[in-house]
Amino acid sequence: MLAGEAVVAIWNDIPADTRAQFYDWHINEHMPERVGIPGFRRGRRYIAIDPATRPEFFTLYELDTMQVAQGTDYANRLNDPTPATAHVTARFQNTFRALSRVLVSHGPGGGGVMLTIRFGCDAAHIPALKALVRAAGQASRITGAHFCQGDAAASAVRTVETQGRTDIQTPPDCFLMIEATDAEALSQIMLERAMTGAGATGPFERGLYRLEYTRLKTGFAS
Protein backbone atom coordinates (compact mmCIF):
# COMPACT_ATOMS: atom_id res chain seq x y z
CA MET A 1 0.00 0.00 0.00
CA LEU A 2 1.03 3.60 -0.51
CA ALA A 3 2.40 5.42 2.54
CA GLY A 4 -0.26 8.12 2.80
CA GLU A 5 -3.48 9.58 1.44
CA ALA A 6 -1.94 11.78 -1.29
CA VAL A 7 0.91 11.77 -3.79
CA VAL A 8 2.93 14.12 -5.93
CA ALA A 9 3.54 12.26 -9.21
CA ILE A 10 5.97 13.60 -11.81
CA TRP A 11 6.76 12.27 -15.27
CA ASN A 12 9.61 13.97 -17.15
CA ASP A 13 12.36 13.64 -19.72
CA ILE A 14 15.90 15.00 -19.35
CA PRO A 15 18.34 15.75 -22.21
CA ALA A 16 21.45 13.59 -22.54
CA ASP A 17 23.86 16.42 -21.73
CA THR A 18 22.20 17.00 -18.33
CA ARG A 19 21.78 13.35 -17.37
CA ALA A 20 24.84 12.99 -15.11
CA GLN A 21 24.02 16.20 -13.27
CA PHE A 22 20.38 15.14 -12.97
CA TYR A 23 21.34 11.88 -11.26
CA ASP A 24 23.74 13.53 -8.83
CA TRP A 25 21.27 16.27 -7.91
CA HIS A 26 18.20 14.05 -7.70
CA ILE A 27 19.85 11.38 -5.53
CA ASN A 28 21.97 13.52 -3.24
CA GLU A 29 20.03 16.77 -2.93
CA HIS A 30 16.54 16.92 -4.35
CA MET A 31 14.84 13.79 -3.10
CA PRO A 32 16.38 14.10 0.40
CA GLU A 33 15.13 17.69 0.50
CA ARG A 34 11.62 16.80 -0.60
CA VAL A 35 11.25 13.84 1.75
CA GLY A 36 12.52 16.08 4.55
CA ILE A 37 9.38 18.23 4.24
CA PRO A 38 6.90 17.55 7.08
CA GLY A 39 4.21 15.18 5.85
CA PHE A 40 6.31 13.66 3.05
CA ARG A 41 6.83 10.00 3.86
CA ARG A 42 8.72 8.44 0.93
CA GLY A 43 10.13 9.27 -2.48
CA ARG A 44 10.74 6.84 -5.34
CA ARG A 45 12.22 7.38 -8.80
CA TYR A 46 11.69 5.06 -11.76
CA ILE A 47 13.15 4.84 -15.27
CA ALA A 48 11.46 3.58 -18.42
CA ILE A 49 11.91 -0.10 -19.20
CA ASP A 50 11.35 0.23 -22.94
CA PRO A 51 11.64 2.92 -25.65
CA ALA A 52 7.85 3.13 -26.00
CA THR A 53 7.52 4.53 -22.47
CA ARG A 54 7.57 8.32 -22.39
CA PRO A 55 8.40 10.40 -20.47
CA GLU A 56 11.47 8.43 -19.45
CA PHE A 57 11.43 9.17 -15.70
CA PHE A 58 8.66 8.80 -13.14
CA THR A 59 9.03 10.16 -9.60
CA LEU A 60 6.52 9.49 -6.84
CA TYR A 61 6.29 11.21 -3.47
CA GLU A 62 3.91 9.74 -0.90
CA LEU A 63 2.32 12.24 1.51
CA ASP A 64 0.29 12.05 4.70
CA THR A 65 -2.63 14.04 3.25
CA MET A 66 -3.55 16.31 0.37
CA GLN A 67 -3.18 19.25 2.73
CA VAL A 68 0.58 18.57 2.81
CA ALA A 69 0.76 19.05 -0.97
CA GLN A 70 -1.00 22.40 -0.62
CA GLY A 71 0.71 23.46 2.59
CA THR A 72 3.23 26.11 3.54
CA ASP A 73 6.23 23.82 4.06
CA TYR A 74 6.08 22.44 0.51
CA ALA A 75 5.30 25.86 -0.97
CA ASN A 76 8.33 27.34 0.78
CA ARG A 77 10.62 24.86 -0.95
CA LEU A 78 8.98 25.45 -4.34
CA ASN A 79 9.41 29.19 -3.93
CA ASP A 80 13.04 28.99 -2.77
CA PRO A 81 14.72 26.43 -5.05
CA THR A 82 18.40 25.67 -4.57
CA PRO A 83 20.74 26.76 -7.40
CA ALA A 84 21.04 23.15 -8.56
CA THR A 85 17.25 22.71 -8.56
CA ALA A 86 16.76 25.87 -10.61
CA HIS A 87 19.42 24.78 -13.10
CA VAL A 88 18.37 21.14 -13.56
CA THR A 89 14.59 21.65 -13.63
CA ALA A 90 15.05 24.33 -16.28
CA ARG A 91 16.33 21.50 -18.50
CA PHE A 92 13.35 19.21 -17.89
CA GLN A 93 11.30 18.24 -20.93
CA ASN A 94 7.77 16.92 -21.39
CA THR A 95 6.87 17.24 -17.70
CA PHE A 96 3.57 16.10 -16.20
CA ARG A 97 3.12 16.87 -12.49
CA ALA A 98 -0.02 15.85 -10.59
CA LEU A 99 -0.87 16.64 -6.98
CA SER A 100 -3.35 13.87 -6.32
CA ARG A 101 -5.57 12.16 -3.80
CA VAL A 102 -5.24 8.41 -3.34
CA LEU A 103 -8.63 6.82 -3.97
CA VAL A 104 -7.52 3.17 -3.83
CA SER A 105 -4.30 1.62 -2.57
CA HIS A 106 -4.26 -2.15 -2.33
CA GLY A 107 -1.52 -4.74 -1.98
CA PRO A 108 1.12 -6.16 0.38
CA GLY A 109 4.01 -3.86 -0.56
CA GLY A 110 6.17 -2.18 -3.18
CA GLY A 111 7.44 -3.86 -6.32
CA GLY A 112 10.56 -3.48 -8.42
CA VAL A 113 8.61 -2.42 -11.51
CA MET A 114 5.59 -0.19 -12.05
CA LEU A 115 2.97 0.36 -14.73
CA THR A 116 1.43 3.83 -14.88
CA ILE A 117 -1.67 4.65 -16.93
CA ARG A 118 -2.74 8.30 -17.24
CA PHE A 119 -6.30 8.97 -18.42
CA GLY A 120 -9.39 11.13 -18.11
CA CYS A 121 -12.21 10.42 -15.69
CA ASP A 122 -15.08 12.06 -13.85
CA ALA A 123 -16.66 11.53 -10.46
CA ALA A 124 -19.58 9.46 -11.77
CA HIS A 125 -17.30 6.67 -12.99
CA ILE A 126 -14.89 6.49 -10.08
CA PRO A 127 -16.66 3.61 -8.25
CA ALA A 128 -16.41 1.33 -11.29
CA LEU A 129 -12.78 2.25 -11.83
CA LYS A 130 -12.01 1.54 -8.18
CA ALA A 131 -13.36 -1.97 -8.63
CA LEU A 132 -11.12 -2.53 -11.66
CA VAL A 133 -8.04 -1.45 -9.75
CA ARG A 134 -8.84 -3.73 -6.82
CA ALA A 135 -9.28 -6.64 -9.25
CA ALA A 136 -5.95 -5.88 -10.94
CA GLY A 137 -4.30 -6.04 -7.54
CA GLN A 138 -5.23 -9.72 -7.28
CA ALA A 139 -3.23 -10.80 -10.34
CA SER A 140 -0.16 -13.00 -10.04
CA ARG A 141 3.03 -11.28 -8.81
CA ILE A 142 1.27 -7.92 -8.42
CA THR A 143 2.39 -6.26 -5.18
CA GLY A 144 0.32 -3.08 -5.29
CA ALA A 145 -2.53 -1.45 -7.23
CA HIS A 146 -3.30 2.25 -6.76
CA PHE A 147 -5.80 4.72 -8.21
CA CYS A 148 -5.20 8.45 -7.85
CA GLN A 149 -7.29 11.48 -8.81
CA GLY A 150 -5.47 14.71 -9.63
CA ASP A 151 -6.37 18.09 -8.20
CA ALA A 152 -6.21 20.31 -11.27
CA ALA A 153 -6.20 23.59 -9.35
CA ALA A 154 -3.45 22.52 -6.96
CA SER A 155 -1.35 21.08 -9.77
CA ALA A 156 -1.61 24.28 -11.81
CA VAL A 157 -0.21 26.62 -9.14
CA ARG A 158 2.95 28.31 -10.45
CA THR A 159 5.90 28.90 -8.14
CA VAL A 160 9.41 30.33 -8.40
CA GLU A 161 10.62 26.83 -9.35
CA THR A 162 8.35 26.74 -12.41
CA GLN A 163 8.68 30.34 -13.57
CA GLY A 164 9.55 30.58 -17.24
CA ARG A 165 9.35 26.83 -17.85
CA THR A 166 7.66 25.73 -21.08
CA ASP A 167 8.01 21.97 -20.52
CA ILE A 168 5.08 21.62 -18.12
CA GLN A 169 2.12 19.79 -19.67
CA THR A 170 -1.51 19.49 -18.56
CA PRO A 171 -1.59 16.97 -15.68
CA PRO A 172 -3.76 13.86 -15.93
CA ASP A 173 -7.24 13.82 -14.43
CA CYS A 174 -6.52 10.39 -13.00
CA PHE A 175 -3.86 7.70 -13.13
CA LEU A 176 -3.30 4.12 -12.08
CA MET A 177 -0.10 2.66 -10.69
CA ILE A 178 0.33 -1.11 -10.71
CA GLU A 179 3.43 -2.49 -8.97
CA ALA A 180 4.87 -5.96 -9.57
CA THR A 181 7.88 -8.19 -9.04
CA ASP A 182 8.81 -8.17 -12.74
CA ALA A 183 7.94 -6.58 -16.08
CA GLU A 184 6.40 -9.75 -17.48
CA ALA A 185 3.75 -9.66 -14.76
CA LEU A 186 2.83 -6.11 -15.76
CA SER A 187 2.67 -7.00 -19.46
CA GLN A 188 -0.35 -9.16 -18.60
CA ILE A 189 -2.22 -6.17 -17.12
CA MET A 190 -4.26 -4.82 -20.04
CA LEU A 191 -6.88 -2.59 -18.45
CA GLU A 192 -7.59 0.03 -21.09
CA ARG A 193 -10.59 -1.68 -22.70
CA ALA A 194 -12.19 -2.40 -19.33
CA MET A 195 -11.43 1.16 -18.21
CA THR A 196 -13.22 2.53 -21.28
CA GLY A 197 -16.21 0.36 -20.44
CA ALA A 198 -16.15 1.72 -16.91
CA GLY A 199 -16.30 5.30 -18.17
CA ALA A 200 -12.64 6.36 -18.36
CA THR A 201 -11.62 8.46 -21.36
CA GLY A 202 -8.46 8.40 -23.44
CA PRO A 203 -5.91 8.86 -24.60
CA PHE A 204 -4.53 6.23 -22.24
CA GLU A 205 -0.86 7.02 -21.66
CA ARG A 206 0.78 3.77 -20.61
CA GLY A 207 4.33 3.46 -19.26
CA LEU A 208 6.45 0.63 -17.87
CA TYR A 209 9.11 1.63 -15.33
CA ARG A 210 11.68 -0.03 -13.08
CA LEU A 211 12.68 1.30 -9.68
CA GLU A 212 16.01 3.16 -9.49
CA TYR A 213 16.02 4.88 -6.10
CA THR A 214 14.00 5.06 -2.88
CA ARG A 215 14.37 7.72 -0.20
CA LEU A 216 12.66 7.47 3.18
CA LYS A 217 12.08 10.25 5.73
CA THR A 218 15.19 12.30 6.40
CA GLY A 219 16.25 15.28 8.45
CA PHE A 220 17.69 17.06 5.40
CA ALA A 221 18.10 20.80 5.71
CA SER A 222 19.42 23.07 2.98
Domain boundaries, the chain: 6-216
| Cβ count within 10 A of residue 176 | 25
pLDDT at site 217 = 84
Is 6-216 a CATH 3.30.70.100 domain? yes
Taking Cα atoms as reference points, which of 18, 11, 4, 184 lies closest to residue 102? 4
pLDDT at site 89 = 97
The model carries a pTM of: 0.95
**Segments in the chain forming alpha helices (H):** 19-25, 31-35, 66-69, 72-78, 83-89, 126-136, 152-156, 183-187, 192-197
Helix, strand, coil shares of the chain as percentages rounded to 5? Answer: 30, 35, 30
Average pLDDT per run of 10 along the chain, which is 222 residues long? 96 97 98 96 97 97 97 97 97 98 96 97 94 94 97 94 94 97 93 94 96 84 44
pLDDT at site 219 = 60
Assign 194 to helix, strand or coil: helix
pLDDT at site 66 = 97
